[in-house]
Amino acid sequence: MMRQLILVFVFLFGMSEVLSGQFDLEGVIFDKQHNEPIVGAQIALTESGEYTISDEQGYFKLYIEKESALVSINHIGYQTEFFEVTASTEYLKIGLSVFVDELQDIVITASSIREKLFNEPSNTAVLTQKDLSLGLDETIVPYLNQIPGVFMHSGALNTNRITIRGIGARSLFSTAKLKAYLNEIPLTTGDGETTIEDIDLAGIERVEVIKGPASSVYGAGLGGSINMSMMRSPYQKTTAESQFSVGSFGLIRSSNKVMHGSDKLNIYGQYSFTGNDGYRENNDYTRHNGVVNGQVFIGKQSVLSFLFQYVDLKAFIPSSIDSTDFAEDPRQAAFTWNKTKGFEDYQRTMGGLSFRQDINKNWIFNISGFSSYFDSYEVRPFNILDENSLRYGFRSTIRYQSNPTKLRYHILLGAEYFNEAYGWNTFENIDRLGEQGILLSENEELRTNVNIFTESKLSFSKRTFLKFGLNINRTRYKYTDLFDEDLIDFSGKYAFKTMASPRLALSHEINKQFNGFVQISHGFSPPSLEETLTPDGQINPDIQPERGWNFELGFKGKKIKERLDISASIYSMLIKDLLVARRTDDDQFVGLNAGKTLHDGLELQSSFSVLPNNENVSLTTMLGYTFSDFRFLDFVDGDADYRGNKLTGVPPHVLNVGAHFESEGIGLFLSGKYVASMPMRDNNSIYSDDYFIMDAKVSYNRTFFKRLDVQVYGGLRNLTNSTYAGMILVNAGSFGGNAPRYYYPGLPINWYTGLSIKYTFLPKALY
């Protein structure tokens, strides 16, 4: 009997030892940029080959018979991850990074209903971290200019104007009539002005550009939207990186960042500095950027995200010059701006907090709050501007997705509330020498913007679906004249009519390599502050937002014969109540709804792998082409009739070409850009010159001890040393008998070089 008891005890003890080494591994796989579940990811044991697949919610469960194991996670469009698990491993939350060679398969946020880029029924463009590393990261200008349909004028690092399909081309000194977001936080002001050039690219992992009014959930702007996503850490890694660059015209740039990723926390921190003496007179530039971005994973179904960003910038302003100075000495600044040593000095702080709850398999809830503060002091020849703004708001969505059936239905409902208190004072610039004098004006404007939106997706089959969206907007301005000395009160309120903007789009996957789409969408753009006021400062009650319809047809192809990715679309956009900012003095403009424009265009983009399936050598060529036929249909300004004329400030042809070579750590990137001449006045009497510029970058990467990555790089920009206008001022005025100042000179041939060092603290199993 005793012997039997001993045998039972030994058996039970042995079984407990065996069972103690067995466990179930559970977790969820998601796109780490958008927290969207990844369906069909393969979770495999590298030793035995056993695997499982993530479901519709990204969830997986895998039985492991040992105390520890090395696991791999892979999915088309994402980088494969390896990590070690043990019996003590808790519920995993694994974020995957985009694999840029499978760009068409990544999930995008154009509609907030998860969709692969390949299937999205719009010509949305994506710039990845790899794209943003093919040059120097002190400005986003060359990267946006690679995208067909997008043209970014650049007069200086702090003077830019982005146009998308011709929208915003008539803005004078800044970007207007499109929207921009950073991690879902609005960067666009209450009156539609957008500044993204001071966002440091070293911290950006992805940029999505939605062209035209193709997204109901991001404001239905006529120009579209630019959605930027901050860097996040790779899974189960802690990384420290430092980068330093120098270049022509006194360029100094440094960036230092740390990041950490785990099942509980993903956090990213960065500080960077950019300094430049400038190519022109009065062109010095300094910028400090600090950012902290992170996620806290709460339980199995909740994520808390946070973002804080700080920008401190001081930039002197050379302004535009006339045709004679542009031809003879483009390095000079405008005389009055150089005399007064004009500059802008501002600080911008922004923060946001968001919470996501996966309520169950069908319902997902998001809510976020944000706030930002802007404080600026600008010395100008005609006066000194002191301005500040405090913005705050929230954004919330709830999304329903049906269970997998033959007919699937998704619907998203959301709201965005935005409030901005903007104050500005002007002072006398004594003798135009930059010394502050008496107060000339004191003003305040409250701007309130409410968007209610919905988007739904109905799948008729696995290959065909229909999307419907609707954005309802209400915008109000309240202007208060606080200046009492003139004994005139120009205060007033103005609210635009409620604007409803629908969208209908159809997508059909012809086969695994080709997809076609068609869409009809409506958009609008509210007027800016200057456009809502008369020259004497009164509210202009007759001004209305621009509005229009967009009709578009396109197709996408991926990995055609394992070599070619291509996308193309043709569109026609009719704009009504065209806003015209007519200059009446040095610092006075009046807004007019002057007529209609027709925007017909074609966009083509492709990449071709010359050496497919070669593990040691990669050679890819790129081509992008934009054709723009934009004309005034009905435009009468005073006694002038401009019907039939070409739209000002938009080149009819833009061609981008490039080649990227990589082999054993050596990288070479060549790019060329041709820009056709464009009209600079509404009467089409004056055109800019066409130009072609080339850039080149070479780099060498080496990894030591699996953890230390070192890269040295250098580049030349404008290899052809072309003379060109980096930005033009449309319809430039002429005052005091001086010639109109149309031109912001582009940079001549210039160089840069740098060093990057990154150390990754890998798990022991991966050493």
Say which CATH number the domain at 135 has.
2.170.130.10
Distance CA 452, CA 433 (A): 48
What is the pairing mode between strands 251-261 and 193-194? unpaired
Q: How confident is the model at residue 418 (pLDDT cuts 50, 70, 90)?
A: very high
First and final C-alpha spacing in the chain: 53
Q: Which residue has the higher pLDDT, 408 or 622?
A: 622
Mean pLDDT computed over 132-160: 93
305 plus 386 within the same structural domain: yes
| Amino acid identity, position 95 | G
183 plus 243 within the same structural domain: no
3-state helix, strand, coil in the chain (%, to 5): 10, 60, 35
pLDDT of 1 over the 90 cut: no
- What residues make up the domain containing 505? 225-766
234 plus 150 within the same structural domain: no
53 plus 166 within the same structural domain: no
pLDDT reported for residue 460: 87
Q: Which residue has the higher pLDDT, 21 or 760?
A: 760
Mean pLDDT computed over 334-340: 94
Distance CA 25, CA 718 (A): 54
Residues contacting 609, CB < 8 A, separation 6+: 562, 563, 564, 618, 619, 620
pLDDT reported for residue 485: 80
70 plus 128 within the same structural domain: no
- C-alpha distances in Å from residue 318, one per residue of 155, 194, 358, 497, 604: 9, 21, 52, 40, 36
Residues contacting 3, CB < 8 A, separation 6+: none
612 plus 488 within the same structural domain: yes
pLDDT reported for residue 100: 65
Considering only CA atoms, which of 276, 329, 251, 277 is closest in space to residue 751? 251
Phi first, then psi: give them for residue 710, nearest 5 degrees: -120, 135
Residue 14 in any domain: the answer is no
pLDDT in tens, 23-72: 788 888 888 777 778 888 888 888 787 888 888 778 888 888 777 888 88
351 plus 489 within the same structural domain: yes
51 plus 164 within the same structural domain: no
Mean pLDDT computed over 465-470: 94
What is the pairing mode between strands 499-509 and 492-495? unpaired
pLDDT reported for residue 590: 61
pLDDT of 639 over the 90 cut: no
182 plus 284 within the same structural domain: no
Mean pLDDT computed over 465-484: 91
Residue 6 in any domain: the answer is no
Q: How confident is the model at residue 214 (pLDDT cuts 50, 70, 90)?
A: confident
Say whether 326 sits in a helix, a strand or coil. Answer: helix
Q: Which residue, of 72, 97, 122, is where some domain finishes?
A: 97
Query: By the 8 A CB rule, do 161 and 167 touch?
Result: no
Residue 368 in any domain: the answer is yes
Query: Taking CA 401 as the corner, what is the angle to CA 396 and CA 407, rounded to the nearest 5 degrees?
Result: 145
Of 106-120, 238-252, 632-646, 729-743, which one has max mean pLDDT? Answer: 238-252
Query: By the 8 A CB rule, do 464 and 509 touch?
Result: yes
Mean pLDDT computed over 676-683: 94
pLDDT reported for residue 2: 54
Q: Which residue, of 166, 195, 224, is where some domain finishes?
A: 224
Residue 355's beta-bridge partner residues? 304, 367
The pTM is what?
0.90
Residue 7 in any domain: the answer is no
Distance CA 65, CA 88 (A): 13
pLDDT of 9 over the 80 cut: no
Residue 11 in any domain: the answer is no
25 plus 135 within the same structural domain: no
**With pLDDT > 70 as the criterion, what percentage of the chain qualifies?**
92
Q: How confident is the model at residue 18 (pLDDT cuts 50, 70, 90)?
A: very low
Distance CA 24, CA 16 (A): 16
Q: How confident is the model at residue 585 (pLDDT cuts 50, 70, 90)?
A: low
Residue 634 in any domain: the answer is yes
Distance CA 20, CA 13 (A): 10
CATH number of the domain bearing residue 320: 2.40.170.20
Query: By the 8 A CB rule, do 198 and 182 touch?
Result: no
Say whether 325 sits in a helix, a strand or coil. Answer: helix
Residue 495 in any domain: the answer is yes
Any idea which of 146-150, 153-157, 170-174 has the lowest mean pLDDT? 170-174
Report how many domains make up the chain: 3
645 plus 626 within the same structural domain: yes
CATH number of the domain bearing residue 26: 2.60.40.1120
210 plus 232 within the same structural domain: no
Residue 8 in any domain: the answer is no
